[in-house]
């Protein structure tokens, strides 16, 4: 092999791996830099991390439109992978903006935090292009394990310890179950590559074993995405964790789980969809309904967002209950609506968390009753929060409206009317508690009149996020054209 | 002039929203500047409305003109399809005009807690929602504008409203949201049964749903009916209206009465009738009966009110009853009358709410028994109140007359497939309503305008006649009220062609 050919066709496609490599390098850099930075300038880890994520984003953009596979098919770069890699980068940047003031003012190890966050984010970036069971598994664990430590960063706080322990135990349990399922899949098909699994699993004679293995894998993921009835850890963990970490868990970690699930279900197991589709229908119904009903009674903004986030997972699960390989058109629509939902959800949920963090930074409280009359104390914060909540509720003029409508349309298109109806009812229940917060912020009178100043960085970040949601509502093709091309 | 034709409608619709966005980024301290920018954008939108008037081909008012049809959400085939015809043109221009007049009025008064920046931004946002409703030809686009109206009005009532503002705002919001959910379900049902799937009103009308089962058509019609009827509001869905009107700030009441209520009746004419003509014929008698109940019930409630604003609110229920009666006849005369009634009610009731607001500013009460002798203290103001009240009760020569007259005339000879006897009975009911209307307005005038000035206000402190800003804000309305009354062709000449086209769909 001469040199020219080796450069033109390397055995490892470094360019395809460049986002992952850049992010991994950035994480290491942050860790090393932290060793040498004096105490008062530890905060520099944050801009360093941001630069690393921006570099990753640049690498993602440089791959736009490409379709490559490398590492023997374990990694595949396509529009689906790039959309989610990009989304993880954006999530990372927003979480950084939320974390900056929070970790700088408290007694935290800032350097470690940013290092852990980048590692966890790396898991998300890797999982987006993973097309092989072991890679998927490692990426998923890479998301979870640093996140557990991040949850425990408030070392002196019992709640933080409790949160981390709960998260740890549930995570380990789910990992064990999932790994068992994966080993069964390997046993049946003799391969860990998704495409090979797909072609051989359908011909497997041992149907009960197939069902068992798929169900184990699904249960493992159900923990990660906090689907009911595997959701118990989530609200407690979110509440106890530092709130930027809660935001990270509720978006990056959850979306990471969903990406893995989508890849598996659309790529590896569609041929046996008849066996597991009903499971997703039940899971989706339970997740939406239980999440929303419990959210109705919450008095703590983080817990409210936790339960509402569970319900939001339910809407995405609906799309998985629509998979039917015999109807490629309906199948594509289901996948597309799932992608659109996840992208929009990531932004609007983070926005709401950011607003809660900004509020708590000045007032030190997370209770909804303290949001009364927020509009008089900070018109900007109240307006932004209202925008994010309206988007989560799915009302125009925010992007969340399309997210819900697309999933709804996909359900009708696949003729699963009852699931569409369940979704509609749930959207109404959800609108109630989101709007109740809006009402409290604008219509009620504040107990204290003291104005709230929102830190500049947070304000700018939330402003951009809100503007993006508005822009996507006005011209949804921004996202849908990408989702359109993201076939698995 | 192609560029103008393509953009005039969009500019008229979206300039206010742009204005709202600009305001958001302005410092709140320079109140004058904020007000100037807000008014400027409302004025620019009005200019766009005038351009639309100039470019509109009146000889062909039955056809949709100045259409724009661009891809918007290809996944669900929702399109940015807007256009205007003789039915929507008067309402489109009316919303731009009334919104602009409101911004002028806001120079002289914004209620507690002030904050002109937010108030102007909300009014402008509301304007975009309302005007957008009247030009949208795509159901999803229509729904978007429809919902867009909800949010600013909720905040306007909830923040700047009277003592029971929170209750009124939430009631308004929940009622309308409830209705619009069913409306959305109806839209989706139409979408999923159309072939090829579309949200386009024109395309849906062309496809027709005559082939689908009667039950389907009736259910969809009912869904749309709930959404529209709550907005109108039709008896018995009206209970949000008196609270919302009474508690809303003056400008909010004006916009609510003058324009927002018309979105409901317009929805019936633009969407329900042409797309589901068979179901429309099935439900027309029921709508007619509800309309006449609203007329009489509204009038009786007015007699019992002591709050001036609440009385005007209930009079709206009655007037919109006439509009719905006109629509229910499904005839040329009736529907033309309905559109005329919508415009007239917009002008007159908008004016009445302005006056009620200004009374409150001067006397700090709207309690009818507590007021008196306004004509002595403020002769000009009193005359305007008399003028608007008799216009509202339907005196010939003023705008209020034609809408009611044509609606009653239409019900004498309803659509051939409707029960003639029933509609003649309804006509008599409506006639009784007009008498009651005259009664409560005259009684109100007698108590408020005539008689002795109450001792409380005898000092004349803080009481002054019409100020210049009020003249600016009101003059166009006052002129249009008499112009449309003396020369009804001003409106009917525009609407008739489009109504003929519409009735062609009904067969």
Percent of chain A whose pLDDT exceeds 90: 63
Q: Give the tokens for residue B408.
A: 């009653």
Q: How far B466 CA lies from chain A's nearest CA (Å)?
A: 33
pLDDT-derived band at A3 (thresholds 50, 70, 90) equals: low
Instruction: For chain B, give the mean pLDDT.
Output: 90
Tens digits of residue pLDDT in A274-295: 888 999 999 999 999 999 999 9
Cα B49 from Cα B46, distance rounded (Å): 5
Of residues A103 and B505, more confidently modeled: A103
Residue B476: pLDDT over 70: yes
Q: How far apart are the first and last CA of chain A?
A: 34
**B92, B94, B100, B106 alpha-carbon torsion, rounded to 10°:** -130
pLDDT at residue A205 in the model: 64
pLDDT-derived band at B457 (thresholds 50, 70, 90) equals: confident
Is the CB of A428 less than 8 angstroms away from the CB of B181?
yes
Residue A148: pLDDT over 90: yes
Kindly give, in sequence order, each residue whose CB lies less than 8 Å from that of residue A139, ignoring residues fewer than 6 positions away. Answer: A123, A124, A126, A127, A130, A256, A260
Residues of B with CB under 8 A from a CB of A: 24, 28, 71-76, 113, 115, 118, 143-144, 147-148, 151, 155, 158-159, 165-166, 169-170, 173, 177, 181, 185, 188, 192
Cα A271 from Cα B111, distance rounded (Å): 65
pLDDT-derived band at A181 (thresholds 50, 70, 90) equals: very high
Whether the bond between A186 and the residue before it is cis, its omega within 30 degrees of 0, is no
pLDDT at residue B193 in the model: 87
Q: How far apart are the first and last CA of chain B?
A: 37
Cα A275 from Cα A278, distance rounded (Å): 7
pLDDT at residue B61 in the model: 84
Is the CB of A396 less than 8 angstroms away from the CB of B185?
no
pLDDT at residue A5 in the model: 65
Q: What is the three-class DSSP state of A454?
A: coil
Instruction: For chain A, give the mean pLDDT.
Output: 91
pLDDT at residue B502 in the model: 86
Which candidate, B87, B415, B143, places its Cα nearest to that of B269? B87
CB pairs under 8 A between A and B: 59
Tens digits of residue pLDDT in A31-45: 999 999 998 888 899
Nearest to A397 among B72, B73, B144 (CB): B144
Tens digits of residue pLDDT in A47-85: 999 999 999 999 999 998 888 888 888 899 999 999 999
Half-sphere exposure of B157 (CA within 13 A, CB side): 29
Domain segments of chain B: what residues?
Answer: 2-506
Averaged pLDDT, B143-160 = 90
Tokens 């869904």, located at residue: B223
Task: Find, in chain B, the residue whose alpha carbon is nearest to that of A387.
Answer: B151
Nearest to A480 among B75, B115, B181 (CB): B75
Helices B332-363 and B468-486: crossing angle in degrees, nearest 10, is 160
Tens digits of residue pLDDT in B8-28: 899 999 999 999 999 988 887
Q: In b/e form, how buried is each residue of B415-436, taking b as 16+ CB within 10 angstroms?
A: beebeeeebeebbebbeebbeb
Helix (H) or strand (E) holding B126: helix B116-135
Is the CB of B113 less than 8 angstroms away from the CB of A390?
no
pLDDT at residue A141 in the model: 94
Distance of CA B451 to the CA centre of its chain: 34
Averaged pLDDT, B271-286 = 92
Answer whether B122's CB lies under 8 Å from B156's CB: yes
B147 vs A contacts (CB less than 8 Å): 395-397
Residue A436, chain B, CB below 8 Å: the answer is: no
Residue A488: pLDDT over 70: yes
Residue A1: pLDDT over 50: no
Tens digits of residue pLDDT in B218-241: 999 999 999 999 998 898 889 999
pLDDT-derived band at A364 (thresholds 50, 70, 90) equals: confident
pLDDT-derived band at B265 (thresholds 50, 70, 90) equals: very high
Tokens 């619009």, located at residue: B180
Q: How far B133 CA lies from chain A's nearest CA (Å)?
A: 14
Contacts 24+ apart (CB under 8 A), A395-398: A395/A431, A395/B147, A395/B151, A396/A473, A396/B143, A396/B144, A396/B147, A396/B148, A397/A470, A397/A473, A397/A474, A397/B144, A397/B147, A397/B148, A398/A348, A398/A469, A398/A470, A398/A473
pLDDT at residue B460 in the model: 75
Residue A149: pLDDT over 70: yes
pLDDT at residue A304 in the model: 95
ipTM of the modeled complex? 0.83
Mutate which of B27, B76, B77, B145 to test chain A, going by most A C-beta atoms within 10 A?
B76
pLDDT at residue A8 in the model: 63
């Amino acid at each position: 092999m001469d040199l020219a050919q080796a450069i033109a066709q390397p055995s490892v496609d470094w360019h395809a791996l460049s986002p992952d490599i850049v992010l991994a390098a950035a994480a290491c850099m942050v860790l090393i830099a932290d060793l040498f930075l004096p105490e008062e300038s530890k905060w520099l880890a944050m801009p360093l991390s941001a630069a690393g994520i921006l570099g990753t984003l640049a690498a993602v953009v440089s791959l736009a439109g490409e379709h490559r596979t490398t590492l023997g098919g374990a990694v595949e770069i396509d529009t689906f992978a790039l959309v989610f890699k990009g989304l993880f980068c954006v999530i990372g940047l927003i979480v950084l903006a939320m974390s900056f003031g929070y970790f700088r003012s408290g007694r935290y190890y800032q350097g470690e935090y940013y290092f852990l966050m980048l590692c966890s984010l790396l898991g998300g970036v890797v999982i987006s292009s993973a097309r092989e069971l072991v890679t998927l598994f490692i990426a998923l664990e890479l998301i979870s394990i640093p996140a557990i430590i991040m949850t425990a960063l408030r070392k002196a706080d019992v709640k933080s310890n409790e949160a981390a322990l709960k998260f740890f135990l549930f995570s380990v349990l789910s990992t064990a179950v999932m790994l068992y399922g994966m080993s069964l899949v390997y046993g049946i098909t003799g391969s860990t590559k998704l495409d090979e699994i797909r072609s051989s699993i359908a011909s497997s004679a041992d149907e009960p074993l197939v069902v068992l293995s798929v169900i184990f894998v699904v249960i493992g993921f159900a923990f990660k995405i906090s689907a009911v009835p595997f959701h118990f850890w989530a609200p407690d963990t979110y509440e106890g964790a530092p709130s930027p970490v809660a935001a990270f868990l509720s978006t990056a970690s959850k979306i990471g789980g969903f990406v893995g699930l989508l890849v598996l279900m659309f790529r590896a197991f569609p041929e046996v969809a008849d066996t597991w589709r009903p499971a997703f229908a039940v899971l989706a119904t339970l997740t939406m309904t239980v999440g929303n009903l419990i959210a109705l009674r919450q008095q703590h903004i983080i817990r409210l967002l936790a339960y509402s986030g569970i319900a939001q997972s339910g809407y995405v699960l609906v799309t998985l209950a629509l998979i039917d390989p015999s109807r490629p058109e309906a199948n594509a629509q289901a996948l597309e609506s799932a992608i659109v939902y996840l992208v929009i959800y990531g932004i609007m949920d983070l926005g709401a968390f950011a607003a809660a963090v900004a509020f708590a930074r000045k007032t030190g409280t997370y209770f909804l009753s303290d949001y009364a009359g927020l509009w008089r104390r900070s018109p900007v914060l109240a307006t932004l929060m209202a925008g994010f909540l309206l988007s989560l509720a799915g009302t125009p003029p925010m992007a969340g409206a399309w997210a819900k409508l697309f999933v709804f349309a996909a359900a009708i298109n696949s003729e699963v009317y009852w699931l569409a109806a369940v979704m509609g009812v749930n959207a109404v229940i959800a609108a109630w508690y989101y709007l109740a917060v809006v009402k409290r912020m604008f219509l009620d009178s504040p107990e204290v009149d003291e104005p709230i100043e929102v830190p500049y960085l947070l304000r700018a970040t939330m402003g951009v996020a809100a503007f993006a949601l508005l822009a996507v509502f006005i011209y949804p093709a921004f996202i849908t054209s990408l989702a359109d091309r993201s076939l698995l | 002039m192609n560029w103008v034709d393509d953009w005039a409608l969009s500019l008229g619709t979206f300039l206010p929203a742009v204005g709202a966005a600009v305001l958001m980024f302005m410092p709140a301290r320079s109140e004058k500047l904020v007000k100037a920018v807000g008014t400027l954008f409302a004025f620019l939108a009005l200019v766009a409305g005038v351009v639309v008037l100039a470019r509109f081909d009146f000889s062909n008012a039955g056809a949709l003109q100045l259409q724009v049809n661009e891809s918007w959400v290809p996944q669900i085939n929702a399109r940015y399809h807007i256009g205007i015809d003789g039915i929507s043109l008067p309402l489109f221009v009316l919303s731009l005009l009334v919104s602009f007049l409101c911004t002028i009025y806001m120079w002289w008064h914004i209620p507690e807690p002030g904050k002109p920046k937010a108030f102007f931004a909300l009014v402008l946002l509301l304007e975009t929602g309302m005007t957008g409703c009247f030009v949208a030809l795509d159901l999803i686009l229509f729904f978007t504008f429809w919902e867009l109206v909800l949010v600013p009005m909720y905040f306007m009532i909830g923040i700047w409203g009277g003592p029971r503002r929170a209750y009124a705002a939430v009631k308004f919001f929940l009622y309308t949201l409830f209705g619009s959910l069913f409306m959305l379900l109806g839209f989706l049902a139409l979408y999923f049964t159309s072939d090829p799937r579309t949200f386009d009103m024109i395309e849906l009308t062309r496809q027709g749903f005559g082939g689908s089962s009667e039950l389907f058509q009736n259910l969809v019609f009912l869904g749309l009916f709930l959404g529209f009827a709550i907005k109108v509001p039709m008896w018995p869905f009206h209970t949000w209206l008196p609270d919302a009107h009474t508690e809303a700030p003056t400008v909010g009441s004006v916009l609510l009465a003058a324009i927002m209520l018309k979105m409901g009746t317009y929805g019936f004419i633009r969407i329900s009738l042409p797309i589901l003509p068979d179901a429309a014929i099935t439900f027309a008698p029921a709508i007619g009966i509800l309309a006449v109940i609203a007329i009489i019930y509204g009038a009786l409630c007015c007699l019992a009110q002591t709050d001036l604003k609440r009385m005007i609110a209930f009079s709206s229920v009655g007037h919109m009853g006439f509009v719905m009666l006109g629509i229910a006849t499904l005839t040329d005369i009736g529907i033309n009358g309905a559109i005329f009634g919508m415009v007239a009610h917009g002008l007159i009731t908008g004016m009445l709410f302005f006056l009620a607001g200004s009374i409150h500013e001067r006397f700090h009460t709207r309690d009818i028994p507590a007021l008196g002798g306004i004509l002595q203290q403020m002769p000009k103001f009193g005359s305007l109140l008399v003028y608007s009240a008799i216009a509202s009760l339907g005196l010939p020569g003023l705008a209020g007359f034609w809408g009611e007259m044509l609606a009653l005339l239409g019900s004498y000879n309803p659509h051939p497939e409707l029960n003639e006897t029933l509609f003649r009975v309804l006509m008599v009911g409506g006639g009784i309503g007009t008498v009651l209307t005259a009664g409560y307005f005259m009684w109100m005038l007698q108590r408020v305008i005539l008689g002795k000035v109450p001792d409380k206000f005898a000092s004349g402190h803080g009481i002054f006649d019409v100020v210049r800003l009020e003249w600016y804000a009101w003059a166009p309305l006052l002129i249009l009220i008499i112009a449309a009354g003396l020369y009804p062709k001003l409106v009917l000449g525009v609407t008739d062609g489009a109504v003929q086209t519409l009735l062609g769909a009904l067969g």
